[in-house]
């Protein structure tokens, strides 16, 4: 029986100690520094990071780069094969060659020869008409002969003018067709150039999203490229907190890749549109104190510093009751005015004085 009695005594003593501890858990407001901040999560991005898209549909024939390669603006990354486009380009080239002015010179030369023949006939008919007129003036010949010579000149002149018109029209048509065919060939060459996917700027190839033989279209990205020397943090800020965010605010950042380390950045861009799915806004921050090595898409957690007060009367946040009250030593509610809050402390603007004892509420 004695051991049982001793155990009961120890249990009663422990319960009494815990009860006394709970009853006497208290604190006093202290003056210290407090910082208000907004929590945000996000990812690391290379500056000017972008997804590259194909401008045409087709099948990837060749890939000229690999992940980690550095490329210049305009560097070829992939080649797309499209048989229809290739045949259309060849057809345009054939049509341009056929319509070229030099290849139609024989048609113009044939009309020139015809014009020369008609012109010679016109000169001959004109000469005979003048001779007949002179004879008629001297009383030689008949009027019918004169009229026949005059009609021959009129017909020859009409034929000559018609031949000139045909020549000029054919020349215009050949020149127009040649220009049109060349323009079609230029368009086809531009379209053919679209089948080479090129980088839009200097950067590192961080990801290739397609493999050789896969189909591509204008809706799916084929690669991710970004500046390898400059990184930023893209953060998602809740819509309830966005009104507090300003350009230039300090951002304290922690990364899973650097456990225990803290880095700093400043807000330099706020996107003014709400993402309806996440109900958040996107903000970007540039590093002022950054890790030695960074990669795109690393996860980050951040606290955006809204304001700081060097000397503030503070109490632990878990001592607040309904956000606006504290418990006095007599367990009575006392109203207080609360200012800045962080994740563990709250500033008391009025209602309490330094050294005044308050009790922790029961949980």
Average pLDDT per consecutive 10 residues, the chain (363 residues; last block may be shorter): 45 48 73 90 91 88 92 91 64 65 75 88 90 86 87 91 89 79 67 79 92 89 91 94 94 90 94 92 94 91 91 90 87 88 86 88 78
Q: What local confidence, expressed as pLDDT, does residue 99 receive? A: 60
Six-digit token string for 161? 């003018």
Residue 226 burial (C-beta neighbours within 10 Å; 0-12, 13-18, 19+) = buried
Q: What local confidence, expressed as pLDDT, does residue 167 receive? A: 86
Bridge partners for 281 per DSSP:
237
Tell me which residue of 115, 251, 103 sits closest to 174, measured CA to CA: 103
Q: What local confidence, expressed as pLDDT, does residue 332 receive? A: 86
Q: What local confidence, expressed as pLDDT, does residue 6 receive? A: 46
How far apart, in whole angstroms, are the C-alpha atoms of residue 4 and residue 2? Answer: 5
Query: Helices (DSSP H) in 34-142: which residue ranges?
Result: 83-99, 105-137
Q: Global pTM?
A: 0.56
Residue 268, C-beta contacts closer than 8 angstroms, at least 6 positions apart = 232, 247, 248, 284, 285, 286
Bridge partners for 79 per DSSP:
62, 196
User: In terms of DSSP bridges, do strands 215-216 and 203-208 run parallel, antiparallel, or are they unpaired?
Assistant: unpaired
Q: What local confidence, expressed as pLDDT, does residue 323 receive? A: 85
Sign of CA dihedral 345, 349, 354, 357: negative
Q: What is the pLDDT of residues 80-100, one digit of tens each?
A: 886 666 656 666 676 666 666
């Amino acid at each position: 029986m004695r051991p049982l009695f001793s155990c009961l005594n120890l249990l009663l003593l422990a319960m009494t100690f815990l009860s006394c501890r709970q009853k006497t858990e208290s604190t006093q407001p202290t003056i210290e520094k407090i910082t208000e901040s907004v929590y945000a999560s996000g990812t690391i991005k290379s500056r000017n990071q972008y997804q590259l898209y194909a401008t045409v549909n087709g099948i990837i024939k060749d890939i000229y780069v690999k992940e980690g390669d550095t490329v210049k603006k305009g560097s070829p990354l992939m080649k797309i094969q499209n048989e229809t486009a290739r045949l259309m380009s060849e057809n345009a080239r054939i049509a341009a060659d056929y319509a070229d002015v030099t290849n139609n010179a024989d048609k113009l030369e044939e009309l020139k020869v015809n014009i020369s023949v008609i012109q010679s006939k016109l000169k001959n008919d004109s000469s005979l008409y003048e001779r007949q007129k002179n004879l008629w003036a001297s009383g030689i010949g008949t009027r019918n002969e004169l009229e026949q010579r005059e009609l021959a000149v009129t017909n020859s002149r009409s034929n000559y003018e018609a031949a000139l018109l045909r020549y000029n029209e054919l020349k215009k048509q050949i020149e127009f067709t040649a220009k049109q065919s060349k323009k079609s060939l230029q368009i086809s060459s531009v379209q053919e150039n679209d089948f080479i996917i090129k980088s839009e700027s200097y950067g590192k190839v961080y990801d290739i999203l397609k493999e050789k033989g896969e189909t591509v279209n204008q809706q799916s990205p084929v690669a991710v490229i970004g500046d390898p020397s400059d990184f930023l943090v893209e953060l998602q800020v809740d819509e309830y907190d966005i009104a507090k965010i300003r350009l230039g605010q300090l951002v304290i950042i922690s990364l899973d890749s650097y456990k225990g380390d803290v880095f700093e950045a400043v807000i330099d861009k706020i996107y003014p549109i709400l993402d309806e799915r996440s109900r958040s806004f996107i903000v970007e921050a540039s590093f002022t104190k950054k890790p030695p090595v960074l990669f795109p898409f690393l996860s980050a957690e951040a606290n955006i510093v809204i304001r700081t007060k060097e000397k503030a009367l503070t109490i632990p946040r878990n001592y607040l009751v309904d956000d606006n009250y504290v418990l006095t030593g007599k367990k009575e509610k006392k109203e207080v005015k609360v200012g800045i809050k962080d994740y563990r402390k709250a500033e008391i603007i009025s209602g309490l004085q330094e050294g005044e004892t308050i009790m922790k509420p029961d949980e």
